């Protein structure tokens, strides 16, 4: 078979040895990105190789954009994307792959630019091709490679013509390499990163290794550049001019993610000047901690897959920059490049703006878990050369980035000799960084203990060093390389994790899973997820689990994370007159920040000013005096808000950008009560099928309100159901239980309301009911008691469980329908949604939105949009005050419609606005992959009393 290499263990043939990557000036590089000819065949051997011959007429072939994935172009005529989490979408028979192996033959004819130098050689570089490629230039077979997200270079100088060069690339969707690339993401074949022709003058730099360390005792940096070609290294700002191989030590400002000082330099060889960007830093594992420049680092990280809703894993520079800016603006300080080395330009951005990077190798064999890891390539010597090739291609390409402080062997590849060989090779090649791999609990190959999705209690045990494990593991620092699964509404419990990270030194933080939803823009569905392209085997919307929506709008989860990891803590100091400010940075003092205070009465800011805070060093705290509270607001709830903002523009955000904030309550809220009646209040008056009480009219038969003043109200009743979130649908790792399943089994989505009595009394209308699911003996005895002072109407609800409820409740409150509503105003937490365990970012203030604006567009529709701690709200002509404060939700569809929808396009707004006034909500947790809500956030069915005062707005 001609394509034998597709199915063999080898990494390839013909490529040059891997080396450092660096951007080249245009004069030395010819981009071969752009429009290519493409022919897609259904099998690997459907076509012969004649297309690679010069003179082949591809005039009737389609066109495709390189970099790109052919399945995301051509409106489906080149095949379709497919999504699986860890199951291989082909029979597991390594290294063989199916005969049905979509194959893309790519052709590009190019001329050399006029000024292309005649001397020297040339290198053809592919930065990423999925899953393998065979390459011909001008009819000559120059080689083959696997390793989709890794660079491959070929020497081609001897083959180049001035014009009419024919570059032919045959790409197969499946190859032996696919067994090593079983990451949880879309399968997307294609030449998805840059293709470049590089001029290599005689005497040009080959590989070079910049060693730039920092001694925090002396404040001096040491520079040594190893190069396989002799040359000189200059760093003008430091007065450095040394030969390669020579060491120099000078005073420097170190590089850190917080203060990413880079020095511009140059490596000059006989034939070339290579730009260098040098960051001095020393990474070590010391005293059981990951330290940089002598200090322990706390990772506030995220896992980043490369994703764009239209182009998949083909990302342009602006999108990469947007990711980095969004990360910096949301207080993130670290990124794990899950689960492969990213486009090299992304690491330049991390160097420049400052992010700690765990650079992960393109290796995952997760599908073997289905057969208890039998035949796992990571433990099979035949595969070891391919594994080592991958390790080398990552390390050699990225070794000169100061931001990269940890190498990761890969993800979910089981355990085995291949991984050990990779770790040994990496440790020997680069002693200046640490090695990570999560999959081996013994930590034999790694420099840190790493886990994913461990629950809070276990993390605390690890923090206390009570977790056991191998001796080596017990001595290692700990990170959560994945936690807080950001799928749909959530993740819940972030603040609780952060409290642990900050309490125990051994816990050096974590990386939220994951950065962005991998939704694919789809004309009919808005966004497509697994199964939407007719895949037989797929994992649904499990691929949409990011902190960003696919259009890169931050989800509430990212807003929450920003607050939870804020590097400055601003809390009440207990005296009422001052505020305690703590610097939570690892390296920077607070001199880059300005502080502002404001004072709110009934949620409205009535005074503000600036606050002088000392430039505290990392870890330091100060109590800062607040001004005298403004007078005249004694009768209402009052509070301070103190904000830390950027004092000046930075590379990543403008002056005034908010970094951190805190609120300090002053006077509590007077609870809403009915005023003494302005005129004698009549109790309920029974009329013609109607009972009147103050401003309200009730149906005399059902006791349900029909109107409050002129505002039509219908369907008011107890509600316990919510459209399950992705986290509700998940199975808790610890208990094995799934809230949504319990709820549906119990019938909470189809509660029955039995009317027991409508009792117009002297002062109140009392309506007695029993609310219970069919086929079950459990119920909630629910009494609605209505009173009025003439203008205002009070509803007191009391709920008592009947029987031992075996599950938490999704929600507990009343829902009602309004004939119309648009603007929503409230005094409570906001502006965004907030649930019991996702509430950190919501601040107490007056907020305004619209019914549509309250919706959070999770790709698979589910419960969303609740506003928490609402004291009062105005909606649809009604003012609603709560005792106690409540959660407010309003939408133009019912919970049942929300529950039934699979895509946002299934939701069609009706005229009615459905409003939920919730006394309590069940927490969110992160059971879509991990633990369900902590006990304190679970909503237990127990006795509850809550009330609302309604009045018509005039």
Contact indicator for 288, 254 with CB cutoff of 8 Å:
no
CB of 366 to ligand GAL, least distance (A): 7
Nearer to ligand GAL, 455 or 813 (CB): 455
Contact indicator for 167, 137 with CB cutoff of 8 Å:
yes
Identify the residue among 440, 482, 532, 789 touching ligand GAL (CB under 6 A): 482
Q: Pick the closest to residue 343 from 361, 311, 317, 312 (CA basis).
A: 317
Distance CA 479, CA 298 (A): 9
Beta bridge partners of 132: 146, 172
CB of 928 to ligand GAL, least distance (A): 8
Q: What is the DSSP letter of 775?
A: T
Nearer to ligand GAL, 184 or 532 (CB): 184
The owner of tokens 């990270």 is 501
CB of 85 to ligand GAL, least distance (A): 6
Residue 482 annotated as catalytic: yes
Under the criterion CB under 6 A, does residue 413 sit at the interface with ligand GAL? no
Under the criterion CB under 6 A, does residue 153 sit at the interface with ligand GAL? no
Residue 291: alpha-carbon gap to chain centroid: 25
Nearer to ligand GAL, 177 or 831 (CB): 177
Under the criterion CB under 6 A, does residue 411 sit at the interface with ligand GAL? yes
β-strands 220-227, 208-215: how paired?
A: antiparallel
Q: Which positions from 293 to 332 touch ligand GAL by CB under 6 A, shown as an x/- string?
A: ----------------------------------------
Distance CA 874, CA 516 (A): 34
Chain residue whose CB lies nearest ligand GAL: 184
Beta bridge partners of 302: 335, 512
Beta bridge partners of 345: none
Q: Pick the closest to residue 952 from 784, 714, 772, 708 (CA basis).
A: 708
Distance CA 297, CA 279 (A): 17
Q: Which positions from 544 to 563 touch ligand GAL by CB under 6 A, shown as an x/- string?
A: -x------------------
- For the sheet with 621-625, list strands across it: 568-572, 578-583, 621-625
Nearer to ligand GAL, 256 or 928 (CB): 928
Distance CA 379, CA 397 (A): 25
Contact indicator for 943, 800 with CB cutoff of 8 Å:
yes
CB of 411 to ligand GAL, least distance (A): 5
Under the criterion CB under 6 A, does residue 181 sit at the interface with ligand GAL? no
Q: Pick the closest to residue 39 from 26, 51, 54, 21 (CA basis).
A: 51
Beta strands in 720-805 (DSSP E): 751-760, 765-773, 779-788, 793-802
CB of 371 to ligand GAL, least distance (A): 18
Under the criterion CB under 6 A, does residue 412 sit at the interface with ligand GAL? yes
Secondary structure class of 293 (helix, strand, coil): coil
Residue 294: alpha-carbon gap to chain centroid: 30
Q: Pick the closest to residue 657 from 666, 649, 646 (CA basis).
A: 646
Q: Which positions from 359 to 398 touch ligand GAL by CB under 6 A, shown as an x/- string?
A: ----------------------------------------
CB of 225 to ligand GAL, least distance (A): 36
Q: Three-class SS string for 24-93?
A: CCHHHEEECCEEEEEEEEEECCCCCHHHHCCCCCCCCCEEEEECCCHHHCHHHCCCCCEEECCCCCCCCC
| Residues between 510 and 549 with contacts to ligand GAL, criterion CB under 6 A | 513, 542, 545
| Residues between 637 and 676 with contacts to ligand GAL, criterion CB under 6 A | none
CB of 364 to ligand GAL, least distance (A): 7
CB of 545 to ligand GAL, least distance (A): 5
Residues that contact ligand GAL, how many (by CB under 6 A)? 13
The owner of tokens 């919501």 is 842
Under the criterion CB under 6 A, does residue 732 sit at the interface with ligand GAL? no
Q: Choosing from 412, 438, 566, 881, which is the catalytic residue? A: 412
Contacts of 736 (CB under 8 A, 6+ apart): none
Under the criterion CB under 6 A, does residue 85 sit at the interface with ligand GAL? yes
| Residues between 867 and 906 with contacts to ligand GAL, criterion CB under 6 A | none
Which tokens go with 56?
């082949």
CB of 506 to ligand GAL, least distance (A): 22
Secondary structure class of 454 (helix, strand, coil): coil
Nearer to ligand GAL, 230 or 370 (CB): 370
Q: Which positions from 436 to 465 touch ligand GAL by CB under 6 A, shown as an x/- string?
A: ----------------x-------------
Identify the residue among 182, 184, 379, 398 touching ligand GAL (CB under 6 A): 184
Q: Pick the closest to residue 301 from 146, 490, 491, 479 (CA basis).
A: 479
Q: Choosing from 153, 306, 482, 514, which is the catalytic residue? A: 482
CB of 174 to ligand GAL, least distance (A): 20
Q: Which positions from 42 to 81 touch ligand GAL by CB under 6 A, shown as an x/- string?
A: ----------------------------------------
Nearer to ligand GAL, 3 or 338 (CB): 338
Nearer to ligand GAL, 8 or 130 (CB): 130
Identify the residue among 168, 205, 520, 929 touching ligand GAL (CB under 6 A): 929
Secondary structure class of 784 (helix, strand, coil): strand
Nearer to ligand GAL, 411 or 692 (CB): 411
Distance CA 854, CA 834 (A): 11
Contact indicator for 565, 300 with CB cutoff of 8 Å:
yes
Nearer to ligand GAL, 85 or 650 (CB): 85
Residue 412 annotated as catalytic: yes
| Residues between 336 and 355 with contacts to ligand GAL, criterion CB under 6 A | 339
Nearer to ligand GAL, 148 or 411 (CB): 411
CB of 696 to ligand GAL, least distance (A): 49
Q: Pick the closest to residue 509 from 569, 571, 463 (CA basis).
A: 463
Distance CA 875, CA 890 (A): 9
Sites of contact with ligand GAL (CB under 6 A): 85, 183-184, 339, 411-412, 452, 482, 485, 513, 542, 545, 929
Question: Where in the sequence numbering do the catalytic residues fall?
Answer: 412, 482
């Amino acid at each position: 078979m001609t394509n034998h290499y597709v199915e063999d263990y080898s990494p390839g043939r013909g490529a040059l040895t891997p080396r450092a990557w660096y951007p080249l000036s245009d004069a030395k590089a010819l981009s071969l990105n752009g429009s290519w000819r493409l022919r897609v065949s259904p099998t690997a051997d459907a076509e012969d190789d004649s297309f690679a011959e010069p003179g082949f007429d591809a005039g009737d072939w389609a066109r495709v954009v390189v970099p790109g994935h052919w399945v995301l172009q051509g409106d489906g005529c080149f095949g379709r994307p497919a999504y699986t989490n860890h199951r291989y979408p082909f029979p597991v028979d390594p290294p063989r792959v199916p005969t049905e192996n979509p194959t893309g033959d790519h052709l590009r004819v190019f001329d050399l630019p006029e000024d292309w130098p005649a001397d020297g050689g040339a290198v053809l570089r592919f930065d990423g091709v999925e899953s393998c490629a065979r390459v011909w230039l001008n009819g000559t077979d120059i080689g083959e490679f696997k390793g989709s997200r890794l660079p491959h270079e070929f020497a081609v100088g001897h083959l180049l013509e001035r014009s009419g060069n024919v570059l032919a690339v045959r790409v197969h969707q499946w190859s032996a390499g696919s067994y090593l690339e079983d990451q949880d993401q879309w399968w997307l074949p294609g030449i998805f990163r840059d293709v470049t022709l590089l001029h290599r003058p005689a005497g040009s730099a080959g590989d070079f290794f910049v060693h730039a360390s920092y001694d925090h005792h002396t404040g001096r940096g040491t520079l040594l550049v190893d190069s396989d070609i002799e040359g000189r290294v200059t760093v003008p700002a430091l007065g450095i001019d040394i030969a390669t191989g020579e060491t120099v030590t000078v005073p420097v400002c170190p590089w850190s993610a917080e203060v990413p000082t880079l020095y511009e330099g140059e490596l000059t060889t006989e034939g070339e000047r290579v730009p260098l960007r040098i960051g001095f830093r020393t990474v070590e594992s010391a005293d059981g901690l990951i330290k940089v420049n002598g200090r322990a680092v706390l990772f506030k990280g995220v896992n980043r897959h490369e994703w764009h809703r239209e182009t998949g894993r083909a990302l342009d520079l602006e999108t990469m920059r947007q990711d980095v800016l969004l990360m910096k603006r949301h207080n993130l300080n670290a990124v794990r490049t899950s689960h492969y080395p990213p486009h090299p330009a992304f690491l330049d951005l991390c160097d420049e703006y400052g992010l700690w990077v765990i650079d992960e190798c393109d290796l995952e064999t997760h599908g073997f878990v289905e057969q208890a890891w039998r035949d796992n390539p990571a433990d099979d010597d035949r595969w070891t050369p391919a594994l080592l090739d991958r390790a080398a291609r990552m390390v050699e390409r990225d070794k000169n980035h100061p931001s990269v402080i940890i190498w990761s062997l890969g993800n979910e590849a089981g355990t085995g000799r291949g991984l050990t060989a990779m770790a040994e090779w990496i440790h020997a090649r680069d002693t200046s960084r640490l090695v990570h791999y999560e999959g081996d609990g013994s930590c034999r190959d790694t420099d840190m203990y790493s886990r994913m999705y461990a629950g809070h209690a276990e993390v605390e045990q690890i923090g206390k060093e009570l977790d056991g494990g191998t001796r080596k593991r017990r001595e290692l620092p700990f990170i959560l390389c994945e936690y807080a699964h950001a799928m749909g509404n959530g993740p819940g419990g972030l603040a609780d994790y952060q409290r642990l990270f900050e309490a125990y030194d051994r816990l050096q933080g974590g990386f939220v899973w994951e950065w962005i939803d991998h939704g694919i823009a789809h004309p009919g569905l808005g966004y497509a997820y697994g199964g939407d392209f007719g895949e037989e085997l797929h994992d649904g919307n499990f691929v949409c689990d990011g902190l960003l929506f696919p259009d890169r709008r931050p989800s509430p989860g990212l807003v929450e994370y920003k607050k939870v990891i804020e590097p400055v803590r601003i809390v009440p100091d207990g005296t009422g007159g001052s505020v305690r400010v703590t610097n939570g940075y690892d390296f920077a003092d607070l001199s880059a920040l300005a502080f502002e205070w404001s004072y709110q009465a009934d949620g409205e800011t009535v005074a503000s000013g600036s606050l002088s805070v000392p430039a505290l060093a990392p870890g330091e705290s100060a109590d800062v005096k607040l001004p005298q509270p403004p007078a005249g607001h004694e009768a209402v709830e009052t509070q301070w808000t103190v904000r830390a903002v950027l004092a000046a523009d930075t590379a990543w955000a403008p002056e005034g950008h908010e970094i951190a904030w805190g609120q300090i309550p002053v006077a509590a809220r007077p609870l809403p009560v009915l005023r003494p009646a302005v005129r004698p209040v009549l109790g309920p008056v029974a009329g013609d099928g109607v009972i009147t009480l103050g401003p309200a009219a009730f149906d005399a038969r059902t006791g349900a309100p029909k109107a409050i003043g002129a505002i039509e109200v219908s369907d008011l009743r107890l509600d316990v159901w919510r459209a399950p979130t992705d986290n509700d649908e998940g199975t808790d790792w610890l208990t094995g239980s799934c809230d949504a399943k319990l709820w549906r089994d119990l019938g909470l989505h189809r509660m029955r309301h039995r009317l027991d009595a409508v009792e117009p009394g002297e002062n109140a209308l009392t309506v007695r009911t029993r609310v219970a699911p069919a086929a079950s003996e459990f119920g909630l005895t629910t009494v609605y008691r209505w009173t009025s002072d003439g203008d205002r109407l009070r509803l007191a609800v009391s709920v008592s469980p009947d029987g031992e409820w075996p599950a938490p409740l999704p929600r507990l409150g009343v829902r009602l329908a309004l004939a119309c509503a648009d603007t929503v105003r409230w005094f409570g937490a906001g502006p965004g949604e907030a649930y019991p365990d996702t509430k950190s970012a919501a601040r107490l203030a007056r907020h305004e939105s619209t019914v549509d604006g309250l919706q959070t567009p999770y790709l698979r529709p589910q419960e969303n949009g609740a506003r928490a701690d609402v004291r009062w709200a105005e909606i649809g002509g009604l003012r609603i005050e709560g005792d106690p404060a409540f959660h407010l939700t309003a939408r133009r569809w019912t919970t049942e419609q929300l529950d039934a929808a699979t895509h946002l396009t299934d939701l069609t707004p009706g005229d009615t606005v459905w409003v939920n006034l919730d006394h309590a909500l069940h927490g969110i947790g992160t059971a879509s992959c991990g633990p369900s809500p902590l006990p304190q956030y679970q909503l237990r069915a127990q006795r509850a009393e809550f009330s609302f005062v309604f009045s018509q707005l005039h």
